[in-house]
Structure 1
Amino acid sequence: MNRSRPFLIMTQSREQECRSDRFVLHHVPLITTERLSFDASLLEDEYDWLVLTSRNAVEHFLPYMGSVKFDRLASIGRKTSESLEAHGFTVDFEPPDYSQEGFMARFRAQPGDRVLYPVSDRARPLLYEHLGRQGCTVTRIALYRPTDNGASRKVLQELLMEKPYGITFSSPSGVRTFMKWFAPGMLNGMTVAAIGHVTAEALEEYGVSSIQPAKETVEDMILMLEERIDRGV
């Protein structure tokens, strides 16, 4: 296919309303999510904090938001907060650094606080363990599971053969799915961008170097790549 503009492969699980003057954007989600069953009696307790760390967590926990009692709401990431606000919820705490480490650095819980923490069953234990060390009683719910989006494999293979300028990854799960389907060498010759140091570290495990935007958002990642191509990189 003849292309008048270079293109990017965007592999995040959600298609966002992003635009680019420099690139054609192709959304090819590597991951979908599966809701998991859990002990609903956990929602009968009262909590000081409800902590939601992603838009996936918001999506899967939304049906329960009206039935659980909590005083304050915390989120990780502007997109997570925007998703909550779109459904009428006020976010009481959002760290400027959109990561578990950024949350831990700024969040000040009181010993004895009861924290409800619904997450992916593959979430890193870092924040959960940190809150416990702060003296919180943390109820962790394995709310959903990321799974391979097999419908994207053929589309992705075809796009990779067309030599994209770059490809973006937004989660370690997405990296693992890509590497399950293709050899790391398929990324040779293109710019690889990652949202967050955890995603970048997952790529490093396969010997793939990546660049990261200062802010962990898709919009900032696109802007970073536009600036690179403008510099002839």
Structure 2
Amino acid sequence: MFEQNGTVNRKRVVVTREAEQGMAFCRKLLAAGFEPVLFPVIQFVPRHSDALDAALRHLDSFDWLVLTSGNAVRFFCQRADELGVAVAGVQIAVSGAATAHKLQAFGLTADFVPEKFVGESLVTGLGDLRGKRVLLPRSRQGRPEIVAQLRAQGADVVEVGLYDTITAVPDATALAELQRGVDVITFASPSSVRNFWQIIHKYGVENVLDRALVACIGPVTAEAAQAAGLTVHVMPATYTLDALIEALREQMLTTNNQTG
């Protein structure tokens, strides 16, 4: 299972992220000694609207801009650039370090990054929001909880649909790679769980779950996996992809020691 130096001996790890993001994760897995299997189950489609454009043109009327994913950062900043609008005059809160890093790629700095990378920590960290206007541009399929939590803290929330998260269509090569057998299936969002579940049943490849471990990036994703009837074997204490890879390595090494 492992080489003498303790590196993972090419365990096959399924990456269910969107294709472009999945490639970056695959490179990290490969560097850590795994054999990545790219199987995108998500596709992101930008959705421009009058509501979004109006919010961008009146950005200084908001107290907070809340961006809950790297995708939200990318699509929001790209649309701002298309309209010739500077993202300025508003405080920016993001969901975690990875989102803050994505923001920096557009020349912007987050004013608030929670210590724990979950939506609840983001909202709690913003404190009393009575009398504050909050702009929340995000996926039109986003979880409703964060909106309710922001409003519970007194915020006047303007939610705008920024993009759609849809189910990707796997090609024959991807399905064949899946059917070769895999050791771990990774999930980085609840939608990836739901879409994967839908795809494997649609194409009759449910047996991929027979011996694979399930690894989730954090508790919200793990909850979605458990709701689908999956047992979650790996979840890192810090909700990042790097931490997920390290948790996978530790799990594999532990399994090796127990069986060896």
- Asked if Structure 1 and Structure 2 have the same fold, meaning a TM-score greater than 0.5 normalized by the shorter chain, the answer is yes
Counterpart residue number, 1:53: 68
Question: Contact 2:16 / 2:41 at 8 angstroms: preserved in 1?
Answer: yes
Which letter maps to 2:153? Q
The aligned runs of 1:183-202 (5 Å cut-off) are 183=201, 184-202=206-224
Q: Secondary structure at the match of 1:74?
A: strand
Counterpart residue number, 2:39: 28
The aligned runs of 1:34-183 (5 Å cut-off) are 34-39=45-50, 40-45=53-58, 46-63=61-78, 64=80, 66-67=85-86, 69-150=88-169, 152-183=170-201
d(CA) in 2 for partners of 1:206 and 1:199?
11
Q: 1 or 2, which has the higher helix percentage?
A: 2
| Residue 119 of structure 1, CA deviation | 0.8
Counterpart residue number, 2:6: none
| Residue 230 of structure 1, CA deviation | 1.3
Superposition TM-score, scaled by structure 1 size? 0.90
| Residue 57 of structure 1, CA deviation | 0.4
Question: Contact 1:28 / 1:155 at 8 angstroms: preserved in 2?
Answer: no
Counterpart residue number, 2:3: none
Q: 1 or 2, which has the higher strand percentage?
A: 1
- Which range moves more in the overlay, 191-200 or 178-187? 178-187
Q: Secondary structure at the match of 1:232?
A: helix
Question: Contact 2:65 / 2:134 at 8 angstroms: preserved in 1?
Answer: yes
Q: Secondary structure at the match of 1:193?
A: strand
Identity of aligned residues (%): 31
The CA deviation string for residues 179-230 of structure 1, in whole angstroms up to 9 with x for no partner, is 1121454312111101122221222122111121111111111111111111
| Residue 58 of structure 1, CA deviation | 0.8
| Residue 115 of structure 1, CA deviation | 1.0
Superposition TM-score, scaled by structure 2 size? 0.81
- Which range moves more in the overlay, 169-178 or 37-46? 37-46
The CA deviation string for residues 5-28 of structure 1, in whole angstroms up to 9 with x for no partner, is 222111122132414433122332
d(CA) in 1 for partners of 2:184 and 2:63?
43
- Which range moves more in the overlay, 32-41 or 216-225? 32-41
Q: Secondary structure at the match of 2:90?
A: strand
- Which range moves more in the overlay, 129-138 or 21-30? 21-30
Mark the runs of 5 or more structure 2 residues left unpaired by the alignment.
1-8
| Residue 140 of structure 1, CA deviation | 0.6
Q: Secondary structure at the match of 1:51?
A: strand
Q: Does 2:38 match 1:7? A: no
Question: Contact 2:235 / 2:244 at 8 angstroms: preserved in 1?
Answer: yes
Q: CA RMSD in A?
A: 1.9
Q: Secondary structure at the match of 1:70?
A: coil
Mark the runs of 5 or more structure 1 residues left unpaired by the alignment.
none
Which letter maps to 1:18? K
d(CA) in 2 for partners of 1:198 and 1:156?
27
